[in-house]
Every structure is written in C-alpha cells, then in structure tokens.
Structure 1
Amino acid sequence: MNLSQAYEMFMQEQKFRGNSQETISYYKICLNMFIDYCGSDLDVSDLDVILFKGYQLHLQETKNIKRVSVRTYARAVRVFYRYLYFEDLIDININKLQLMKANTEVILPLSDVEVKQLLNSFDVDSFLGVRDKLICMLMLDCGLRRGEVVKLTNSDIDLLNCTLKINGKGSKQRIVSYGNLTNLYINLYKDLRPDVLTSSSDSFFLTIHSEPITHNTIKMLFQDLKTKSGITRLYPHLLRHTFATNYIYNGGNLEVLRVLLGHSTISITQIYIHLASQMHIINDKYNSHLDTLT
C-alpha cells in the first residue's frame, strides 16, 4: 500500500469517528504536507522513526517556522503513524516517535486593567460594536474557543438560567454559565440584531447582512482590537486563558474547570495552576525575608 492510499483510509476513519470539520481539515493540511515531502507513491512499509524526525527538521529548515509550529504539523503525522501501526500496516516502535522540543513561551493572561481597557474599546451604540463586545465577553466569562463562538446558535442560549450549550471539539457538548453583565449584553445584542428570518441558519452571531459570522470574522476583529485597545499581544485564545487563570486564582476547582473548558484530560487544565500562581506573585505583596532582617 502506498502513502496516498493509506491517507485515504485514515481520512475515512476520521469521518467515521465523527471528528469535527476543523479536526478533519487539520489532518488534511498537515498530512498533505507530509505526503508532498515523502512522495505519494512511497510504500507505507518505508515509514520509520528516522523519516519522522527528518520531516520535522525539514519543516524547521525550509519553512522558516517556529519549533512550536513544527510540533503542530508533526503531531498530525504521529497520529497517522499510530493509525497505520494499529492497522498492522507498519512495524515500528511508536514510542520513539518524538516531537521536536520547543521553547515554552510564557502565557501572560490579561490583567484586570487590560480587560477593562479591552471592553472599553467598543462602540456600544452600534450593532457591530455590541456584537463584537459580546463575543469578547463570552470568551472572558465562559472560556469559549473561537470556533465555539462561531457555532453558537439561538437554541444554545438559555436566557432564563443564564447558561449556554457549547458544541466543542470532537462533537462534545457541555453546559457553561455566564454572569449578569453578559446576560445584559446578550439581550441588547438580540434587540439590535438584523432580522434573523433572512439568515440561512440558526446562528446566533450574524453580520450586518444577516449572514452567520465565520472564523475569519473573529480573526479580523482581533486584528482591529490590537490597535483600538492598545494590547498588542491580543489574540482570541488569550481571553480563554484569562478566564481559566482567573477561575483558579479565585479558588475554583480544577476538575470543574476541566469540564467548563471542555478538556478531555485534567493534565491539559493543570497549566492554569501555574498561571494562577504567577498571577499571585504579580498581584500579591511579596513579604521579603531579607527585609525583616534589615
């Protein structure tokens, strides 16, 4: 079996498992890059650990991308390798499929001052201003991902109980709650929103032409917000990091946070313990032992 045939089998399996369109697109992009590197006629029996490592070095040296991005592309290839291994199509030690080490960049959540700075940068006298502010509020108040905001529908919102039904990664659903201020802006947005009857879907967030927003809508929004707010490191996922860090900082339970964020394992959520500890160091007065001696 050649690499192209194995790829078709793998992608069919991902659709059968019910993976989201985002996940399938991720595999498609990453694996096609890998196939271009290897050649579509390569026999799968020639796939080995050396080729996997060589591909990562190739990405780093020719694509001019950071090591963390190399890991993102290579992670999909490793899943592909594992699929072929468990289908008895290759015979290698899959435990040796190591990803390139990357320098861990410090995540700096938004401070309370920066959150206020961000939320004050919207024109709340216009439909778009209210819509865009509400998008940011949902990310800050509920920890939503960009894709989860895009997929939010009218029927997902329970105004009575102030909760949202979120369709997360891997078609997993969860319930999250939101606060009074967010509830106020949800109702304000609904009053200003264009006639939903002209929309082709049940999407909650619409453009001024009553069309559902897209991932690109939010991408362009945050590019604009960098200038308006003056927060140059701003990006959508930073608001999710800020929500999670504040949740732990204020005494929230780690397992509850895992459910709220839609993480499959608690090991992913544990990063926010470190971030909350860093926030304590920054915000709390440091009692220097040396000061007590002098």
Structure 2
Amino acid sequence: MSSDAPLLNAVEGFLRYLKVERQLSPLTQINYQRQLTACIVLLEEMKLPDWRQLDAARVRSLAARSRRAGLKPASLALRLSALRSFLDWLVAQGVIKANPAKGVATPRAPRHLPKNIDVDDVNRLLEIDINDPLAVRDRAMLEIMYGAGLRLSELVGIDTGHLDLASGEVWVVGKGSKERRLPIGRTAVTWMEHWLALRELFAPEDDAVFLSKQGKRISTRNVQKRFAEWGVKQGISSHIHPHKLRHSFATHMLESSGDLRAVQELLGHANLSTTQIYTHLDFQHLASVYDAAHPRAKRGKS
C-alpha cells in the first residue's frame, strides 16, 4: 500500500490484526473489510485526511449518509460496530487518544423472532429413507445439528477427532474461535455411527466427518441445498435451512427446561441477551394459547 492512503493503510493493519492475532473466521474478516471500506468511501467524501481528525460529528454524519443511502438499521448497526472496533484498535495502537464513535447511538433494529419448526414437523423431516449413503449422511447432519443446536460453520467443521460417540459428545469451534463440548443425544449418535460406517466409500481426502460425493469436506452451500430439498421431499410446509434447525433446538429446549443459562451455554452465545429472544418466542406461544383458551381472554362475544 502507498503512504498516500492513510485511511486505507490503517484499516489494512487492523485486518491483519484480526487475521493473525485474533484469528477470526474468513467470513468475519470479509464483513469487517466490507464495512470499513464503505466507511472510508464516505469519510473521503467528507474530506477526512487522517483518522486522527475523526470526531463524533463526522461519525454521526457517516451514519446519516448511510441511512440516506438506504442502509437498514441492522446493517447500519453492523457498520458502526465495525468502525468502533477499528477505532478501539487505533486507541490501543496509540494512533488516536479516544474513540469518537463511542458516543454515537446505534439505531435500534426491529426485533425479529426466530422461525422454528414444531416437534411434529422435525420428526417428519428426520424420517429419511436410508437406502442411499448420501441420505444417511444427510440424516446424520440433520440429527446432529438439531441434536446439538449447531451453527452451520460448526457442522461442516467437525473432524473425526472431534467426536466421542461413546460418551455422546461432539467438540466444535464456534464464533471467535471459542471451543465447546456438546451432548448430541442417543439418536444422533446412532446416525453418526451409520454414516461413519459408510464414510470410507467416498475416499476421504482429510479428516472431515461430512463429505461431498468427491470425498472433500462438504460445503456450507451444499448443506443448505440438501436441507432445503429434504424439507420439500418430506412435505414440510416451511423452507428448511440449517439456522432454522438451530432455532428449533433452542426453542424446544427452552420450552422443556426453562433453563435460559443452560440453553445459552449449549448455543455458545457470549451474551445472555442473545439467548433471551427465545423467551419472547415462548411467551408469544403461551399468549396465543391463553387467548384461545382462557374464558376471560375471549372478546367480542357478548
């Protein structure tokens, strides 16, 4: 990079820090790069020569310009979050004395409750014919994803050494390279055993548990495609995707146990507030049952 691009040079240094020291996932690095590049474009339009001249007024102007360009609240919050993290790094590097984005309010995005599948539909989805080895693989993926509430990246990242089927556990690496061991349940263990007995048919190229037809680690896109196809084949009315199974795991666990902290640990959420959205989902269900069943809730029937 040339020395006449001080805004971009500093961001490149931050991205190297995220890759080498923080070891964030490639997708997270790309998201940071995308948001910070967009910030640079806007700040250059405002004639900002150097990060040391950035103040809260310019950050607010950046946010306003982003909104006028059509950025939605959730995306704007992501942009400001990336900018704050970068500016915190500049403070730590001694480039600036304080983070001017700290006092700029993040827009509140509307709360979208997770979509989940009811237990009957989950059971119907998982009743997959086992004559085809790929169908066995897919059922094993569905069982372990729903059985442990995995993220898609965690599912495809499982290696053979990450499984302890004797104790019914799987080891995964989640967001921020955080590791956790999770129970997967007897049914998932059974289907993992079925799949592992067939896995060698695909001439594995590495230790990946879930393979494509070519023997390589299965891609996230392939998993999404297969799950959607199984949803249609099994007659599920809603679109089936990996994150919906994770939501369903969380909702069903919370409905049965009521233990929010345990569900937080199982999902690998850093903050309890992230898990608390499922309490709103559960309350919505309870409220609908109340309205339908309680004599004092019925209206308009005088």
Q: Which TM class, normalised by the smaller chain length? A: 0.7 to 0.9
Matched, 1:104 2:115: no
Partner of 1:235: 241
The reply to whether residue 12 of structure 1 matches residue 16 of structure 2 is yes
Give the TM-score taking structure 2 as reference length. 0.83
State which of 18, 24, 28 in structure 1 corresponds to 2:29. 24
- How far is the alpha carbon of 1:267 from its aligned partner? 2.5
Specify whether residues 238 and 72 from structure 1 end up closer, same or farther in structure 2 by C-alpha distance, changes over 3 A only. Answer: farther
Letter aligned with residue 187 of structure 2: L
CA distance in 1, matches of 2:266, 2:67: 35
Distance apart, 1:152 and its partner CA: 0.5
* Alpha-carbon distance change, 235 to 59 in structure 1, aligned in 2, over 3 angstroms: farther
1:113 is aligned to 120
Say which of 251, 259, 263 aligns to 2:265: 259
Q: Secondary structure at the match of 2:293?
A: coil
Give the secondary structure class of the aligned counterpart of 1:175: strand
Instruction: Kindly indicate whether residue 225 of structure 2 is the aligned counterpart of residue 217 of structure 1.
Output: no
1:23-52 C-alpha deviation (Å, 9 max, x unpaired): 323322322333344349841123333443
Shift of 1:56: 4.0
Q: Which moved more, 1:163-172 or 1:185-194?
A: 185-194
Structure 1: stretches of 5+ with no match in the other structure: none
Cα drift, residue 174 of structure 1:
0.8
Q: Equivalent residue of 1:114, what SS?
A: helix
1:141 paired to 2:124 = no
Q: 1:19 to 1:108 in 2, by over 3 A?
A: closer
CA–CA separation in structure 1 for the residues paired with 2:227 and 2:63: 31
Let me know the Cα RMSD of the aligned residues: 3.0
Counterpart in the other structure of 2:284: 278
Contact 1:194 1:208 survives alignment (8 Å): no
**151-160 vs 52-61, greater mean Cα deviation:** 52-61
1: distance between equivalents of 2:297 and 2:56? 53
Give the Å deviation of 1:8.
2.1
Gaps of 5+ in 2: none
Q: Would you say 1:35 and 2:40 are equivalent positions?
A: yes
Tell me which moved more, 280-289 or 79-88: 280-289
| Range that drifts further, 142-151 or 77-86 | 77-86
Identity of matched residues, %: 26
CA distance in 2, matches of 1:65, 1:224: 32
User: Which of the numbers 208, 211, 217 marks the counterpart of 2:213?
Assistant: 208
Give the aligned residue type for 1:84. L
In structure 1, the residue matched to 2:134 is 128
For residues 127 and 283 of structure 1, the distance between their equivalents in structure 2, rounded to whole angstroms, comes to 42
Does structure 1 retain, via aligned residues, the 8 Å contact 2:84–2:102? no
Q: Are the aligned partners of 1:138 and 1:182 in contact in 2 as well (CA < 8 Å)?
A: yes
Letter aligned with residue 49 of structure 1: A
